[in-house]
Amino acid sequence: MDIYYWISNSLILERTPSGFPCKPPSLVTANDFSFTGLVAGNTENRFRLGVTTASVNNLPGLNGLGISAARIDVGFNGTVPMHLHPDASEISIMVEGQMIVGFITPTNLFVKTVNAGDVFVFPQGLLHFQVNSGSGTAVSFSAFTSPDPSMQVLDELLFANSLQTAILQKVTFLDFEQIKKLKAVFGGTG
């Protein structure tokens, strides 16, 4: 099978349930295998987090390979909030600064302080986080076992919706006022 058969046609056709349609081999170029935008992300936000991705959406050559990458910039006192990737495992390589990283299983917590040159793995589907514990910006690069991994942020799942505050209070044991405050921060209603 010719490897070019798998090149994503994402810039021309829409994604289907099984991924992007393939590009005709005659239209494939070296640019389909290259991406030059894995640069520092904007950390001017509530989490002080900037993420730049190289996925099948901007690197068509990833189509069919089951991999992607990201650059994660976390400003001073910033965080990658508690989140999960239901469709991918993640391996993170620290290149600058220091972070406290970890993930939670139903029976355990795994936490470690990582520095430049350290590697940490987040298993697929588990809640995990990264907190900048250094004195400046922390930078890491991650690889994923998906060409376009999804990300579900716990705070946004809980507080950026219209679920009634009274119901959320019962299912989380958080007090009413705290839920209202968090809904205001994340744009939720109800």
Answer yes or no: are the C-beta atoms of 154 and 81 closer than 8 Å: yes
Element spanning 71, H or E:
strand 68-74
The token pair that represents 170 in the structure block: 């019962």
**DSSP structural state of residue 10:** T
Provide the residue count of the chain: 190
- Taking CA atoms, 8 is separated from 25, 66, 92, 151, in Å, by 11, 12, 25, 21
The answer to whether 156 is annotated as binding is no
The answer to whether 44 is annotated as binding is no
Answer yes or no: are the C-beta atoms of 77 and 40 closer than 8 Å: no
Spatial separation of the C-alpha atoms in residues 37 and 179, rounded to whole Å = 38
- % helix, strand, coil for the chain, step of 5: 20, 35, 45
The answer to whether 14 is annotated as binding is no
The answer to whether 85 is annotated as binding is yes
Q: Residues comprising the binding site?
A: 83, 85, 90, 128
Residues flagged as binding site for Mn(2+): 83, 85, 90, 128
Per the annotation, where are the binding residues for oxalate? Answer: 85, 90
